[in-house]
Structure 1
């Protein structure tokens, strides 16, 4: 068992442990025993803080989405009043992240693939947050003078999802390293 970190609550240590393990090994690939051992806490601490592993998984997914949201916000700040530039800034950043050796794609996409049952609460939460990501892309495309905005949005969402999966299928840097260049091709006439 790891030694507890002073000043960090058990719930925080559990959350940090789960984030690391879920991203590296998948939600289903990690047991409660491994989470609490890695966090240096007891099993009752996990259940007091999160009620269940699914509850902890929902917190992990929400935190993962918040990280994604910061990437969108950074793209917006980099190119204020320029939705095309914001899309390109996002995909340039995604290309850089996807080229890292420890890259395991999107935690939300991974959760959707792990939980094929559409009624499972983890799958539903991941799908809800994944839709929010697609909605951000759609919101940027709406501000452009695109001839076929729905098709462009679909192409960009497919590119994003493709990078998430390709990052796990190919050795770094892999095709994801070209995400910005591909986004430029999709936005060529815009």
Structure 2
């Protein structure tokens, strides 16, 4: 599949998240509650909302059926977000003194590498759920979805720069280079 698509992955995930977190939609509230409790990819994939997300992504050329664990991770983590904010999650985790997320917990999160292993994927989901809790459950939903889709060395390096407040000095990485590493 071509890397050129008709819709931005993060923007599509943001739209899906807004529908999922809309309190006026009863079915969405039930799916949101189930996603918040999902213990792993299979639990998440058994929820209609996750497949709604994939249908929206597939319509824009981002079909995630070949990476169901990644799709589940994105849905489970985004379900934990209560507020769409400007700053990226790693920036929020590293702001202030003391930092909301300790360096030890950040190190553990950032060292989760091989998302092809179910235990690593579950560990990353757990670490991100905890991180979101300590920053008031606010994150840039679109950027977080993109980062989870391409959880590569380049993404994790950018998170390190963001966490330590040096994002202006971070190396410029284009999405295309992240996609080629995935």
The TM-score bracket by the shorter chain reads 0.3 to 0.5
Larger relative contact order (C-alpha < 8 A, sep ≥ 6)?
A: 2
TM-score by length of 2: 0.32
TM-score of the aligned structures, taking structure 1 as reference length = 0.31
- Give the structure with the higher percent helix: 1
Q: Specify the structure having the higher radius of gyration (Cα).
A: 1
